[in-house]
Amino acid sequence: MKAPLLAGFAALAVLATPASAEDMQGKVQVKLLGTAVLPDGKITDVNVDIVGLPAGTQTKANDNVVPTVAIEYFVADNFSIETICCFTQHDVDTTAGFPAGTELVSNARVIPATFTAKYHVDGGAIRPYVGAGVTYFLWVKDRPGAATIPLGVTETDFSDEFGFVLQAGVDIPVSDNGFGISLDAKRYFVDTTSRWYVGDVVAIETVHKLDPWVLSAGVTFAF
């Protein structure tokens, strides 16, 4: 999935006709983006297992594509602070230990509250950038997967966690009135602890490495 997305991002860059460079200090840039969220979901630790998971049990969260909004304030021409707004939904299925695709978690929804500081390279009208920041994964909903309900699972829970983010991308102005195109890639580093309950008893508790790639493309408006 990553290769076609990157090819599409490159095509947008080729089609864009850069406008002249402009001073950005004090401006706000709003980005309307289509975003591919490509998580891992790998189990790194098993803390509780009273049901006896098969040896080598492993999982993965599915990919998703969602709309996102980014708001960026330029403290200086080459330095900005950015936050994004979105939520994304994922199922968690097995890849080993059970038949592939066995659903353990259904419709887990997360808000990845993210703030990054970005340095914009002076490249004329085309403005590449790099950035880094922090994130807080707030899980607002999750349900037991179809395969766990017959086993008596009544509830699942993902822990909210802080993490780190690395970022790189490019903004390409296409007119002198603040309109442009943006291509962006982020790599998140964040875990979560998952719990499966039978009544009030924690039957399984596992730690998962999420570490998603988040790839975005869209349009920008600077004010």
Residue pair 29/177 in contact by the 8 Å Cβ criterion: no
Count structural domains, the chain: 1
Q: Note the pTM of the prediction, 2 decimals.
A: 0.86
pLDDT at 16: 44
With 0-12 CB in 10 A as exposed, 13-18 as middle and 19+ as buried, what is 9? buried
Number of neighbouring beta carbons within 10 Å of residue 142: 21
* pLDDT tens, residue by residue, 158-196: 999 999 999 999 999 998 888 999 999 999 999 999 999
* pLDDT tens, residue by residue, 57-77: 999 999 999 999 999 999 999
pLDDT at 125: 76
**CA-closest candidate to residue 30, choices 216, 180, 132, 133:** 180
Q: What range defines the domain where residue 126 resides?
A: 2-222
User: 3-class SS at 86?
Assistant: coil
Q: Output the domain CATH number for residue 84.
A: 2.40.160.20
What is the largest distance, in Å, between two alpha-carbon atoms of the chain?
Answer: 64
Q: Which two tokens stand for residue 44?
A: 């790194």
